[in-house]
Each structure stands twice: as structure tokens, then as C-alpha cells.
């Protein structure tokens, strides 16, 4: 009986260990779960920052990717060191360009939005501006939800006033549920990270889906985030600012 019990414990431990390893491999992107079809999602693209280093955007375009969303700014004074060269080269290659700001919970929202506007300019011919919202385990965890919403509403109102368009908000489902699932933000586009399955935003459709952080794309050394647009090509083209 004791040997049977030991056998059962060993098997249970082994199964649990295998499950944990598998989970971690998926979470850290070593194993990909998502392969969205271009038949269902015909418009797909990448997102990048200076971490990708040199990029040959001509090769990216030739490989069939439609858009690139690139980091421009963070907080109230930081600018991505690759932004200017990425922006020029991606547009020259014929890719549709989007730019994003990494929002800081610690910095005045008006200072942030003015910094973003000063760096990126008018964005004609590009996607609507994007804002990256993440749990960063720094100052954001101590800010009450209502205070975040009030501050972020100031940011959005200033952005809307300048560009006359609602932005793209990047987040995951947990962040959306905690902070953004309210009327103040319902007109925004949502770009959702989920590397395991298609996003679920509790009743509303996502607009962009970051489906892996471990993509391989010609022209880029190393892994890159891959994304799909939810609609058809004509709907994507309607987003482009003019």
C-alpha cells in the first residue's frame, strides 16, 4: 500500500512539474500558441522599439507584413533612440506606421501628452496614436483606480483635442478589466496582448491583437512582437489619418 502511495505521489508530482514547465514555456514565449490565419485576419504587423536594433524594413515589407507600430516616447521626457530612423525607414519601405507612448503612472499626464505630441508631430498618413498601459510594479500599483482614470482622461482629452481621433490603447485583459472597462474609454481602439488565446474583453471586440512576443521576421535579428488587426483591409485603411 505504501509503495502504491509513493508511486501515486511521484506520478502526480511529475505531471504537475511537466504542466508547470509547459505553462512557463508558453508564458515566456518559447512555445507559441497562436497562429492567426491571414485568411481570417488579412492585415498583420509588428511592433518594435530600440531593443530590436537595426531593422531592414524593406525585408519586413517583402515578407508580407502590413504595418509597424513603434515606440516613440515614455513618461515626460524620454524618447526612443531609434524612433527617427525607424519612422523614416518604415514609411520609405511602404509600411503603414503607428507610434506609441509608454504611459507612466508617476508622471503628470499633460506633461506626457505634450512630450508625445512634440516628438511625433502630426501623424498624417499614419495610424491613430497609441498608448501602452501596463502593470509595471512600480508606482502604478499604489494609485487608486479612480485617480488613474481621472489622470488618463486628461491625457486622452488632450490627445483627442490635438489629433481629433480616439487613440489605440495597448493593454492586457486584466488591465482592461481593472482600469478601462468604463464609458470614458469605450470609443478608443483596443490593442490587446494575449499570447495564449484570442483576447476576451468581456463583451467588446478587440481591434488589434498582439498574439506572440517571439515572432521571427526577415530583416529583424531576434524575436519580435506580432499583431493582427480584427477587421478587413478596407477597415484598416479607414483608420489612417489624413
pLDDT in tens, 58-100: 999 999 999 999 999 999 999 999 999 999 999 999 999 999 9
Residue 14: count of CB within 10 angstroms of its CB: 10
Quote the DSSP letter at residue 13: H
Has residue 23 got a pLDDT over 50?
no
C-alpha cell at 23: 505553462
Write the burial class of residue 143 (CB in 10 Å: 0-12 exposed, 13-18 middle, 19+ buried): middle
58 alpha carbon, distance to own chain's centre: 22
Q: What is the DSSP letter of 79?
A: E
Q: What is the DSSP string of 161-201?
A: HHHSS--EEEEEHHHIIIII-SGGGTTSEEEEE-SSS---B
- Which grid cell is 196? 495564449
Q: What is the pLDDT of residue 8?
A: 46
- Whether residue 26 has pLDDT greater than 80: no
Q: 68-96 as b/e, with b when 16 or more CB fall inside 10 Å?
A: bbbbbbbbbebbbebbeebbebbeebebb
Q: Which of 25-34, 91-100, 110-119, 144-153 has the lowest mean pLDDT?
A: 25-34
Report pTM. 0.86
Residues in the chain: 242
Q: What is the pLDDT of residues 118-137, one digit of tens each?
A: 999 999 999 999 999 998 76
pLDDT of residue 35: 86
Amino acid at each position: 500500500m505504501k509503495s502504491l502511495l509513493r508511486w501515486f505521489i511521484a506520478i502526480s508530482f511529475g505531471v504537475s512539474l511537466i504542466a508547470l514547465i509547459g505553462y512557463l514555456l508558453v508564458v515566456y514565449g518559447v512555445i507559441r500558441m497562436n497562429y492567426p490565419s491571414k485568411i481570417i485576419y488579412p492585415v498583420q504587423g509588428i511592433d518594435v522599439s530600440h531593443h530590436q536594433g537595426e531593422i531592414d524594413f524593406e525585408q519586413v515589407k517583402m515578407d508580407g507584413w502590413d504595418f509597424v507600430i513603434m515606440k516613440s516616447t515614455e513618461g515626460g521626457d524620454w524618447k526612443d533612440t531609434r524612433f527617427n530612423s525607424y519612422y523614416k525607414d518604415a514609411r520609405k519601405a511602404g509600411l503603414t506606421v503607428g507610434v506609441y507612448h509608454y504611459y507612466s503612472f508617476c508622471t503628470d499626464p499633460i506633461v506626457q501628452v505634450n512630450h508625445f505630441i512634440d516628438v511625433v508631430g502630426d501623424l498624417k498618413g499614419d495610424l491613430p496614436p497609441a498608448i501602452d498601459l501596463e502593470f509595471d510594479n512600480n508606482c502604478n500599483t499604489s494609485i487608486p483606480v479612480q485617480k488613474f482614470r481621472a489622470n488618463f482622461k486628461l491625457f486622452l482629452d488632450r490627445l483627442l483635442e490635438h489629433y481629433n481621433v480616439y487613440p489605440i490603447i495597448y493593454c492586457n485583459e486584466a488591465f482592461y478589466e481593472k482600469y478601462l472597462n468604463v464609458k470614458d474609454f469605450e470609443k478608443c481602439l483596443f490593442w490587446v496582448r494575449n499570447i495564449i488565446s484570442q483576447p476576451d474583453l468581456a463583451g467588446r471586440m478587440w481591434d488589434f491583437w498582439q498574439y506572440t512576443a517571439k515572432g521571427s521576421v526577415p530583416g529583424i535579428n531576434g524575436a519580435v512582437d506580432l499583431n493582427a488587426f480584427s477587421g478587413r483591409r478596407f477597415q484598416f485603411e479607414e483608420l489612417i489619418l489624413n
